[in-house]
Structure 1
Amino acid sequence: MSTKIKRKVDIAEITTSRTFLLVFIILTVYPILFVALTSLKSTEEFYTNVWLWPKKFAWSNFPKALIDAHIGAYFMTSLIVVAISVAIILLFGAMAGYALARLRVPFTGLILFLLLSTTFLPSEMVIMPLYIMMSKMKLLGSYYSLIIPYVGWSLPMTIFIFHRFFKTLPIELLESARMDGCTEAQTFTKITAPLMMPAIATCAIFSFVGLWGELLWASISLSMSSLRTIPFGVISFKSQFATDWGPLSASITLILIPLIILFLFVQKYFVQGITGGAVKG
């Protein structure tokens, strides 16, 4: 009797979990599909055929978004800013995480606590001081006004993830390298670097996704400049073309493409980083 009851409970748990998972997938994927389908419709068809498959593919929406609305230029600006920012974040985050995990830095726990505490500050709290600082340094409206804050905002969590990753590496591995005459720099680059892909993938995706869609600071720092990141450009594009939903959806689809490509390339290591050493306690 108890076995039958347990089996029924297991079936109920599996059914419930799969139902929630299915609902979550639908809620996540459907908006993406909706935007992709809308990008292939003309504005006239959008108002008469909102939910169904396009009757005629309006491929002209993409050239209109890329050229007429300058989304192509905004795309390149975002790509340059985010790529440079992520590269700096990964480099310095990995070195700082290694130092805190394996070089016996005093007050490591306090340093990590202070770093992580900065991530809980509301972004509105730092916008005004940051704007004043960038203005006095005459960096507003430039690539530097985006890259420097982006690096500063993403480094604390990146350092924490790398720190937890390096803590999972066997200390014997590092000690044997030192006994063979390797310096700390050689140990870092030759011994630990080949093992860092899960942590790198985890940090790269988190940083890229967060920075690629960042709008608040970009709209403030670039308000007096001709530079535009792609989220800021989409806002301008919407106000310029009002209800031209086809090209607007095409520009949003273009925003999603780099995120999908990045995840497809590093999904294997990302899953390892999430479930394994990158965040293992």
Structure 2
Amino acid sequence: MAKKPSLIGQLTLGIASVAAIVVAASQVKPVFVAQAPVVQRLVAASWRDSAAARAPWALADGDSAVATVQFERDRKAFANDLVATGRIDSTRANDIATYAVREAYKKHLPPALVFGVLLTENSTFKSKAKSNVGAVGLMQVYPKVWVPTLGKIFGKNLRDDETNLRYGVHILSHYVYTAAKKADDATQNPTDVVRTGLLRYNGCVHGTNTPNCKTYPDKVLAAVEQYAVAQCGTDVNGCIAQPMRLRLDETQKDQAGL
């Protein structure tokens, strides 16, 4: 039996597949040359329309995105995936899913990415969990670093699930989109942007805070691949990379004033 590609491999293959179709369309026989740009536009429009439908957070503002039917679908899928781990009951799973998906939508992130970080940081979902370096709660937020900055906005009780998720998703979004701004616009690969953002979230700047911290993105994405079944199924590219590509393109347009 053929070995199933890793999540990163699937993301890369998905992007490559779109590129291959476009390249193939541009290399047709002369009689169809005039039609090649049309084919390219159709291919681009197809995946963009699909991504936009599945991820309203990529294009809409937070409140508008949360008001869509897709938000409730994503919330239920997130909750189902939490329950499927066997580590949490449905009542708490629904509460966490509501907070997590809402914040992901408002901060323009794939809910499945937040799910992966949550599962990697606190696989037993203990609200009062505290690491040996002082990180607290579901998303393992550092109080000394973030409460002075965000406390007046989000509150200071990091053992409260809703508060902790507001912090965690905000911080993750900050690092992901900071990585996007620093990337070359011409080669802004969504998978690379996400991986860099995850490294920053983990504090893996120089690779000295925890042993093998550079493997953190792999752990997060592996958690998505293994547990985000209701959210992503086997289409991890459509779940994370494609909507992130859409969001990054939209951000570039906004910055260019288009």
| Common fold: TM-score over 0.5 | no
The structure with the largest alpha-carbon Rg is: 1
- Which structure has more RCO (C-alpha within 8 Å, separation ≥ 6)? 1
**Larger helix proportion of the pair:** 1
